[in-house]
Amino acid sequence: MADYLTVAEAARRLGVKPATLYAYVSRGVLSRVRAPDGRTSLFGAEEVEQLARRGRPRRPPGVADITVESAITEITGDSLRFRGLDATRLAVSRTFEEVAELLWTGEFPSERAPWRARPAALAAARAAQAALPAGTLPLERLQVIVPAMAATDPLRLQLDRPAVIAAGRNIIAGMVDCLALPLPGDDPPETPRHGGLPAPRSPRPPGGGAGLPAPRSPRPPGGEAADQGEAVAGRLWSRLCAGNGPGNGQGRPAPGLMRALSAALVLLADHELAASTLAARAAASVRADPYAVVGTGLGAVSGALHGGASLGAETLMAAASGPEDVPRVVAELLRRGEKVPGFGHFVYRGGDPRAILLLDLVRRAAPKSGQLAVADAVFAEVRHKSLPEPNIDFAIATLVRVAGMVRGAGEAIFAVARTAGWIAHALEAYSGPGPLRPRAVYTGRPPADEP
């Protein structure tokens, strides 16, 4: 292919390292194609020559590129692919467990055995939550559950592929089955909340408890625990939904909403080197065990600019007493100099394909939902102000509100789903050359001879 250059040839022509070449691709500066073997990257000779003549692209202030070669996920301006397969198609055709196995092994599993955590891990993780205060959010519980499970696994430092995959199944099953069951009526989504946005992490609404009832201690897991033979999506639903949303009247979700939750888990399973994945991959590169890798990811994903963004969007919608109240809520948010959570994305400039699919599934499942009307009003108000398109965080928050899930459920959905991706990246890092060690550019004062 005379019109194309190999990685080495393109890097040599531009006078950069191969890692910088891939950074140019991720930033849209340079495009690449696949060689006939399906794995080798090639670069157009003419495009490389034009870039060489223009000189190296300047880096915008505040942007840092850390490039890692990975065969797991590919993101373009308008699509997301897992192992070469469109994630939005996988979301409506495959289970979360199947997609997790695809990320881990490159193939779908031949059998569909349910994932179960070991009894000792379940017992330890449930006991570890005993001292947590009422109103502890689901993600905060997950940050306690995972290290407690780790303490019961004496072979957690066995890092060969089968052992890590088995640990991944155990971790995800335990995260779901150890979440405390919500009480019926907990955090009902239809309860109006006036007077602006409530404090983001407070278990009670501001103003001395007006609005929502004071939180009660959740039911301990036991006889009412979800059947461990059920799929992860169904088990997670029973842990997050207090029975306030559309269903069949027997505590079961409307089928369309269950499909939406299953799709959300798939759509969130991985997203290349997002902040939590980079942190998790760095931990794995120094041979931290899978539980520690997931714990690292859980710490990063809680950030308000990452997985925690869905809680901000939930809180925004909860602050509106109805669709007609949304302009006031959005205006107050902007007046305080805050951004509207759940809109815009660093990668998807023309709209997040994950959000487009998930919002469509929720809309079809519960078209008459009052909470969907609130979400639509938020969307309309943001569009009226020419702000960016909704992202996956807004879509998850919409699902949570429409389904009647407990407050903070979106963060938990994100974390459980993304654990599959963290394990996939850990598997790559374990087989890699060594530590992922970025270098800093020192900007402090110059060296001094005296202290």
CB-count exposure of residue 91 (10 Å: 0-12, 13-18, 19+): buried
**Which tokens go with 368?**
């008459």
78 is known as an active-site residue = no
Cα Rg of the chain (Å, integer): 23
Residue 24's nearest CA partner among 225, 143, 54 is 54
- Catalytic residue (choose from 153, 187, 289, 393): 393
- Catalytic residue (choose from 194, 325, 345, 376): 345
d(CA 72, CA 426): 11
d(CA 366, CA 359): 11
**Which tokens go with 93?**
């055709």
160 is known as an active-site residue = no
d(CA 201, CA 449): 48
d(CA 325, CA 320): 5
Positions marked catalytic? 345, 393
